[in-house]
Amino acid sequence: MSNIRDNDIDKARRQFMTGAVATAGMTIAPGFMLYTAEARPAGTAADPKVRWGLLIDISKCDDCTVCVDACKKENGWQGHRGDLTDAQWIRKVDLKDKNTGVKSSLPVMCMHCEYPPCVDVCPVGASMKRADGIVLVDKHICIGCRYCMMACPYGARSFVHEEVHGQKTHLPRGQGTVESCTMCAHRVDNDQIPACVEACNASGREAMMFGNLRDPNSDISKRIAEISTVKLRADMGLDPHVQYVNF
């Protein structure tokens, strides 16, 4: 019952918002109206034909942290202690080749695997993969057992070790639960790109590319088709949707 009521409220809210945006759009910018119309309406399921992914060009990535800073700002996971109890949804990893000494730097976050081990091991099903491939944690049922953190090959998940402050309305967090990169699902559903990608582009580096891996005409698919990409821990066969180039 409550779901139906919520849906009705969502519909009414959506109609109001659509009307408001349409009016403003027609008056101000026709392009913006198109932008809003492509967003996934609330209450509808993610599209299984879509597979969101990221392509990260390491040759364009230096030691800056704009992606990390943007993620913190967007999702409100700023740590307080400066130790390993702090949450970290995305991190910059500095690499040095043991033989050649060549150095590189790259962002690492949840890889949004096609076959995510965190989803496999979660006893209550709180770890889940959306139909469009985005891997999330259902904060309402996560019991905080941390088995998903044991299973993740990328160390991409954080346990909330303390009381949280300054939560974003679009992304509630909870002490005692596990969390990780959501690929900015709230933005993606509104036809926006993830905050990290947007910040990287704005910095002029354009090292990160976001798009639909299942659409052969998307920029990301075209780019992947013409170059050799690297998937971290490809040996595990998890098919991560975050790929790297010029590794």
Partner 1 sequence: MARLTDNYHKLTDHGPFFYALLFGHAIVILLGLASAYYMEHNGHYVTGMNNQIVWGMPHVFAVFLIVAASGALNVASISSVFNRLAYKRFARLSGILAISLLAGGLAVLVLDLGRPDRLIIAMTHYNFKSIFAWNIYLYTGFFVIVGIYLWTMMEKRMNRFTTIAGYSAFVWRLILTTGTGSIFGFLVAREAYDTALLAPLFIASSFVYGLAFTVLVLITMCWTLGIQLMDKEFVTKIRGLLIIFTVTVLYFTAVQHITNLYATQHHGVEGFLLLYGGSFPTVFWLGQVAIGSVLPMLVLAHPKIGPTRQGLSTASVLLLIGGLSQMYVVIVGGQSYPLDIFPGMEATSSWIDGKFGSYIPSVPEVVLGVSGISLTMFLTGMALKVLPFLPNPVAGEE
Contact with partner 1 (CB under 8 A) among 47, 86, 114, 215: 86
Q: Could you tell me the smallest distance in angstroms from the CB atom of residue 48 to partner 1?
A: 19
How far is 233 from 182, CA to CA, in rounded Å?
20
Q: Which stretch binds partner 1 (CB under 8 A): 25-33, 52-60, 89-97, 197-205?
A: 89-97
CB of 62: closest distance to partner 1 in angstroms? 15
H/E stretch holding 233: none
Q: What is the C-alpha to C-alpha distance for residues 116 and 125, in angstroms, rounded to an integer?
A: 12
Contact between 234 and partner 1 per CB under 8 A = no
Degrees to nearest 5, angle at CA 181 with 207 and 235:
75
d(CA 94, CA 76): 24
Residue span 213-232 as binding mask against partner 1, x where in contact by CB under 8 A, dash where not: -------------------x
Binding mask 137-156 for partner 1 (x = CB under 8 A): ----xxxxxxx-xxxxxxx-
**Residue 58 class from Cβ within 10 Å (0-12 exposed, 13-18 middle, 19+ buried)?**
middle
Q: Does 131 bind partner 1 (CB under 8 A)?
A: no
Closest CB 201 distance from partner 1, rounded Å: 23
Position 27 contacts partner 1 (CB under 8 A)? no
Work out whether the CA dihedral 170, 198, 30, 216 comes out positive or negative: negative
Q: Which of residues 159-198 bind partner 1 (CB under 8 A)?
A: 159-163, 174-178
Closest CA to 53 of 236, 244, 235: 244
Q: Which of 120, 191, 206, 219 binds partner 1 (CB under 8 A)?
A: 120
Closest CB to partner 1 among residues 50, 111? 111
In the block, residue with structure tokens 């993606």: 188
Binding-site size, partner 1 (CB under 8 A): 55
